[in-house]
Amino acid sequence: MSNEKDAYEAAQRLRALDQGESRSGFSGPALPSGSTVSSAPYQVPSLSSRSGPTSEGQPPKRRGATDNQITARLHNDDGSLRTHSGVASALQAAGLGASNARIDAPLQAAGGTRRLRGATDAQINARLHNDDGSLRTRSGVASALQAAGLGAGVTRIAAQLQAAGLGAGVARITAQLAAGGARLRPGATDAQIDAHLHNDDGSLRTRSGVASALRAAGLGASSARIDAQLQAAGGARLRPGATDAQIDAHLHNDDGSLRTHSGVASALQAAGLGASTMRIAAALRAAGGARLLRGATDAQINAHLHNDDGSLRTRSDVASALHAAGLGAGVVRIDAQLQAARGPQ
């Protein structure tokens, strides 16, 4: 009986051992008492743990932001101006991108480089006019605001100027009439508008030039009426947009000095071309126009093309390096040097 019991227990131990081998996937000597064999499956490494680049790790290609899209992201939710990196991050979150110069231009116009207090509509309206009563340009309004420690986005300034272009802002008329210092100008006839379309040299005035001439004569007219007369005279034709190279080619006077913003705009118009305020401002800044920097020679540009590790800088980084050295160069000249440094593609 004892032998049968021993045989039965031995058979049970063998059966248990066989079952453990089939689960673990290997055979071998019996395990010591109390030992266990892990049956956990083999863990395949995730893609994120593998070495080397993957297609998922490549940064997405961002579309170039328009001027309006940049302007729409200049402010935080509380109305305060974002920093340069804050604007760039907001654009990236929307799948957009923009160069440093294009972000800096609207930030500067909005007072972002000095962290100015945001101007109210009334404060903008109070600085729309020159001392002689003529309307300032957008950049003139921005400068007047900044001189008072205030800032405003280009869109808000443009809206106030447009409202004032119909004669005068309603708030300004009310305030000035209450003080007895302003008169309502009679609307100019078509003939009177037509008589003020040209400068003394016979060239056509711009819309703002016509409006200023009418105001000097005690007259007023809406932007639409002035545009219609200019259109009839051939002055309001749609001009093709200038390329970066064409803007760059009109940045300098004959003596090599940088033109003002309005000087560049006039030179482009004389060539039958047009460009937005921000594009002209960006090109002038790249050429040192914001700080009146000395124009860099080709050798000086070439000396600032590379980072410390020998890699080529981007165009904006080359411009920044030149500015840090007190130098400026147009984007076309920088691009030409970068292209030469890359060699044949």
pLDDT digits (tens, 9 = 90+) for 160-180: 887 776 544 444 445 544 554
pLDDT confidence of residue 303: 92
The segments of the chain whose pLDDT lies below 50 read 21-55, 167-173, 176-177, 180-182, 236, 290
Residue 154 falls in which region: left (phi positive, over 0), alpha (psi -120 to 50) or beta: alpha
Domain ranges of the chain: 64-183, 185-237, 238-292, 293-345
Place of tokens 């008072």: 148
pLDDT digits (tens, 9 = 90+) for 31-64: 444 444 444 444 444 444 444 444 455 556 778 8
State the number of CA atoms in the 13 A half-sphere of 113 facing the CB.
13
- Distance CA(244)–CA(321), nearest Å, equals 20
Place of tokens 């105001």: 215
- Distance CA(169)–CA(157), nearest Å, equals 13
- Distance CA(81)–CA(76), nearest Å, equals 6
Q: 82 with 113: CB under 8 angstroms?
A: no
pLDDT confidence of residue 252: 82
pLDDT confidence of residue 45: 46
pLDDT confidence of residue 81: 75
pLDDT confidence of residue 222: 82
| Sequence letter at residue 292 | L
